Chain A
Amino acid sequence: MSPLLELDGVNAGYEGPDVVHDVSLTVEPGEVVALLGPNGAGKTTILNAISGLARVRAGTVAFDGVPVHRLPPHRIATAGIAHVPQGRQLFGYSTGRENLAIGGYPRSDRKAVEADVEGFLGRWPIAERVAAQRGNLMSGGEQQVVAVGRGLMARPRLLLLDEPSLGLAPILVDRLMEMLRSVEAESATDGLAMLLVEQNAAKAIELANRVYVMVAGRVVHHSRASEITPAQVVELYLGR
């Protein structure tokens, strides 16, 4: 059986030279995989290559055994990959509720999307508080919760999370991680997988089943999460 997501020898970048080189990684159904690395390691580019925002110049990206690296971003989203981008990127002039609802755009069952939106708001008071508030008027923590919720509204099979804790106060990071743990627990039966890019190695290792470490555009380590400590991750960043 093929993995849910498989990157094989991927070189990818934007307009200029490649940012990541010969990256191979897999994500199995229901699994949380952390992608760690210092600034500029190419973690975001990997997520962008998966969701079609970066150009894959060599290698393949397969989702459920089907190559997707030549598809435009909207087709990849429709295939079942939701991307929660760095900086949240909420639609600033739309309300929290509208932001959540548009996350369900790939689905045709609008009534069910509306029910999911209301369910999410009922479940997470921090989101309910900003349901009628415009995205650009929310705090960073509120934006992040809504952004993750927006990603879930598509009922994806793979959720890409790019630095969800970036810029958040420690207490909000804890709440966010609690939310991700609960999403993981609830969706285990559905097989929702997560690929989490994070600079907060300790939090990511705590949440993940497996860990990849990238430095300077290449994967330099891969193991089960239980086999590596945050200190060892930092050692890898420093090339020791």
Chain B
Amino acid sequence: MTEFAQQIVNGLGTGSEYALWAVGYGLVFQVLGLMHFAHGDTLLIGLYIAWSLLVTLSFPIWIAFCLVIAAGGLLAAVVERSVYRPLVKRNNPMAAFSAALGAAYILRNIATLGWGHDAKIFPRTLEGSSIHVGGAVFNTIPIIALAVTLTVVGLFTLFLRRHRWGQAILMVAQDRTTAALMGIPVYRVISLVYVLSGMIGMIGALLYVGQFGALDPLVGLDITLKAFVAALIGGLGRIGGAVLGGLLLGVMEALVIGYVSSLYSDAVVFGILAIIIVARPQGLFGRVEEVKL
């Protein structure tokens, strides 16, 4: 029972990072109806920049993190302007889908050219301690990750509900043409959506590599897949769904790793995803009418 509780907490920690990736991924889908398959590789470049700032240039950790979170937003905006926008303007979602995959490969190749194929040791920026509850010992890192995620998602939800630009995002997600008639600068809002998606995802990515300490060019693909799966499990385009989907994914993985084998974690997780898609195409926490706002 103690071990089970530990696995759940560990899973919630990793799941928190998945949740942040899924929120950014789902946000782009909610607003544009597009699968943002370049999401993870955009964050990958940010992670390598973080590595350079921390390891090569010895930046203080908080300055490096702030710069990289901003860079995550900027990189996402560049991808939006250069890849997505020309195709969205031509109303060609299939081309945008293919272009997203192409952009992901280009970004991954840029990372490889700039920083090489080999895995880098990322400084362990998250140092945890142990806390004892009853007979169980818990590491604080997953708890910190969960707290950061809930804070970020809470602030983001507040922004969407209360801020003028947040409201604009919700309206553009529902109807771009009518939003423009209301005086909302639609393309500026779309750029903002990518910036926020990049920044929120970057926080998750920094938590992830800061916890596991390894960075290689395939991390971006992993982020995209996990974001996609978590968002699908939760119900694409729903923030709460993305968070719950991410947490659930993390817990499932932790339980498989803890009780079966780490070799099979992806197979089990994707198997569960396939079952969910068949049984509830709108996701576990999505409603049919609200899959696309």
Contacts and interface: CB of A to CB of B under 8 A. Distances in A.
Contact of B181 (A53, A93, A110): A53
Contact of A105 (B177, B184, B293): B184
Interface stretch (B60-68, B166-174, B245-253): B166-174
A77 B180 contact: yes
A85 B174 contact: no
Minimum-distance CB pairs A-B, first 3: A106-B183, A77-B183, A73-B180
Interface residues of A, number: 25
Interface string A148-176: 00100010000000000000000000000
Interface in B164-192: 164, 167-168, 170-171, 174-175, 177-178, 180-186
A165 B18 CA distance: 49
A52 B180 CA distance: 9
A237 interface: no
Nearest to A80: B183
Interface in A38-91: 51-53, 72-74, 77-78, 82-83, 85, 89, 91
Interface of B: 164, 167-168, 170-171, 174-175, 177-178, 180-186, 290, 293
A72 B89 CA distance: 13
Contacts of B185: 72, 74
B183 A74 contact: yes
A98 interface: yes
A82 B183 CA distance: 9
Contacts of B177: 53, 73, 85, 89
A51 B181 contact: yes
Given A89-B175, A89-B178, A91-B175, A110 B184 contact: no
A21 B290 CA distance: 41
Contacts of A51: 181
A154 B183 CA distance: 9
Given A74-B182, A91-B170, A102-B171, 13 more contacts: A53-B180, A72-B185, A73-B180, A78-B183, A82-B181, A92-B175, A94-B174, A101-B167, A102-B168, A105-B167, A105-B168, A106-B182, A154-B182
Given A105-B168, A110-B164, A93 B293 contact: yes
Label chain B's interface by main secondary structure.
helix
Contacts of A52: 180
Contacts of A103: 182
Contacts of A154: 182-183
Contacts of A101: 167
A70 B195 CA distance: 28
Given A91-B175, A93-B293, A94-B171, A74 B184 contact: yes
Contacts of B168: 102, 105
Given A91-B171, A105-B168, A110-B164, A85 B181 contact: yes
A107 B164 CA distance: 11
Nearest to A156: B183
B164 A105 contact: yes
Nearest to A72: B180
A73 B170 CA distance: 18
B186 A74 contact: yes
B135 to A, nearest CB: 48
Interface in A99-128: 101-103, 105-106, 110
Nearest to B189: A74
Contacts of A85: 177-178, 181
A89 B166 CA distance: 20
19 contacts: A73-B181, A74-B180, A74-B183, A77-B182, A78-B183, A85-B177, A89-B178, A89-B181, A92-B174, A93-B174, A93-B293, A102-B168, A102-B182, A102-B184, A105-B167, A105-B184, A106-B183, A154-B182, A154-B183
